[in-house]
Amino acid sequence: MRRFAALGLVLLTTACGATVAQEQGGVTTTVTNCGQEVSYRTPTRVVTNDTGITELMFALGLADRVVGYVVGPGQHRDVETSPWKADFDRVPKLAERISKEVVQGAGADLVFAGWNYGFSESTGLTPDSLRDLGVATYQLTEACRNGVGKQRGIMPPLEALYTDLRNLGRIFGVSDRAERLVAEYQAQVARAAELMAGRPRPRVFLYDSGLDQPFTSGRNAAPQDIIGHAGGDNIFGDLDDSWTTVGWEAVVARDPEVVLINDYADGDADTPQQKEAFLRSYPPLAGVTAVREGRFFALPYAALVEGPRNPAAIEALARYLAGA
């Protein structure tokens, strides 16, 4: 990835630690992404996959660099309710599933996605396959693989959010804006934490989807820090993985006091109300405290995956827990 000597570049080291190389026709910046040093010429035609990833670009004021975005059909409510709805309206939606054909058709010079957020060996769309096509990639830090099979997550989720904001700020030359966002988000998280200060920490189960087996969050996905900083404890926070499947027996054994529902259409249920109805009617859960007491709270999908809605999600959940 590092061909600076051959290109005859002038290297500069920024105060934030990124290496910037000035060359004829553009700027090259090197950042650490998923544990690897990766060099980027400043991208101008970015394809993003997923709402949270797209909103990271929009929050940084980079809508003009996004040539198109890809979101699945279950995320339409996120787009309609997004704080960056005007950017979603202005930037073309390319498809509901990302592929090499979509990327090439858009003339992309960078794809911003992540493992299970668009990148997958089963579809053949990977950072390696795109590099073979001459297209650079930036991987969502929340979804970085940690070296154990296909498990994901290499740092706490909020740290992953701040890392991506800072890396993208360096790559696109908007570090000042990135640092302002990080400071704002850290302050918002600190204020939210005060709402539950000194109170008992309820056990919280993140229910994403699944009837036979629930899909939930381990300690490396955004809900871990959303729940934790809101004043609760993720009942599956001991799992060294990101989004993962568990068994209903484990949910029952850990007896959550609150269920946090991921609001997106998953094929089994299209609304939080349908998901709640299933949980209330599923006999094995009848004795679980959250079900028995009717303590359900829903947040949008884009608030529960890594993205700029995470701090507001922490505040919203903290207010619910404090008043529940």
Evaluated on CA atoms 255, 156, 323, 312, the torsion sign reads negative
Q: How far apart are the first and last CA of the chain?
A: 52
Q: What pLDDT score was predicted for residue 265?
A: 87
Q: What pLDDT score was predicted for residue 324?
A: 58
Q: What pLDDT score was predicted for residue 6?
A: 32
Q: What pLDDT score was predicted for residue 26?
A: 62
Do 43-139 and 186-323 agree at the fold level?
Answer: yes
Low-confidence ranges of the chain (pLDDT < 50): 1-25
CATH topology of domain 43-139: Rossmann fold (3.40.50)
Q: Domain 186-323: which CATH class?
A: alpha beta
Q: What pLDDT score was predicted for residue 74?
A: 86
Candidates 262, 256, 147, 253; CA nearest to 216 is 262
DSSP character string of 250-281: HHHHH--SEEEEEES--SS-SSHHHHHHHHHH
Partners of 234 in the β-ladder: 204
SS3 138: strand
Query: Using an 8 Å Cβ cutoff, are 279 and 214 in contact?
Result: no
Which residue's entry shows tokens 């787009």?
Answer: 79
Measure the CA–CA gap between 232 and 132, rounded to whole angstroms: 45
Q: What pLDDT score was predicted for residue 292?
A: 98
Q: What share of the chain is helix, strand, coil (3-state, %, to 5)?
A: 40, 25, 35
SS3 235: coil
Q: What pLDDT score was predicted for residue 235?
A: 98
Q: What pLDDT score was predicted for residue 27?
A: 80
Domain boundary assignment for the chain? 1-41, 43-139, 186-323
Measure the CA–CA gap between 263 and 302, rounded to whole angstroms: 9
Candidates 175, 153, 192, 141; CA nearest to 307 is 141
Measure the CA–CA gap between 240 and 148, rounded to whole angstroms: 10
pTM of the predicted structure, to 2 decimals? 0.90
Which residue's entry shows tokens 């094929």?
Answer: 267
Query: Using an 8 Å Cβ cutoff, are 289 and 279 in contact?
Result: no
Candidates 242, 37, 79, 81; CA nearest to 154 is 242
